[in-house]
Structure 1
Amino acid sequence: MSLDELAEVRAPHVYLAKILGDSMIGAGIFDKDLIVVDRSRTAEHGEIVVAVLNNSEPICKRLFMMGGGVKLQSEDSAYPSKHILEGDNLVIWGVVNYSLRRHGKA
């Protein structure tokens, strides 16, 4: 099976993004990993997403929806969660389906 088949990388609604930083190490996503993001899926509680908050840089976080509120949580306690407040502009770019890590020499 090819990577294209496994991760549907050639589908128009799927893209790759490179992770910068270690805020998601608890989920097994490390600095410089590639993530496979599906824009066609609706994000659900507890899923890892790529999001933009208030027109900032895209971030990769775990999505929590509780009691009408929304939180984007890092998977490393050194990084604070982002609680979405009234008036914030949150755009979910997609749901992370896979992460890929290079193990050989660059």
Structure 2
Amino acid sequence: GHFFLKVQLKSLGMRIQLGHVPARVCPGATTFVVIDTDVVHICGPRFLHMRIIYEKSCRAAALDRRLYPATTDHPKSAATFRVLEVFELLQYESKVSPYELYNTISRLTDNTGLTSV
């Protein structure tokens, strides 16, 4: 029969392009986790060195793509600005903690409990 198979975007070759062309690829993480409002995406990053006017950090390149990196140096995960806006509104209305929001999004990603997100 026909069925849908749940796969990570990384296995389909999805890469998040952070930086400018022309450039050279910057060595970094092989897996990049993006937390959005309805799913946790696992994909591959492509951090590119900015050589046009100034050296742009990976953090600044992520912010340009509306991704808020978890760390300032060589980030391996980021939250979309959209999920941060949703979190801010939920904080005002129901005092949701970051832990509760992440668990909710993890369940939206995979509610079977068989894989860790």
TM-score after normalising by structure 1: 0.29
TM-score after normalising by structure 2: 0.28
Task: Please state which structure has a larger fraction of its residues in helix.
Answer: 2
Task: Please state which structure has a larger fraction of its residues in strand.
Answer: 1
Using CA pairs below 8 Å that are at least 6 residues apart, which structure has the higher relative contact order? 1
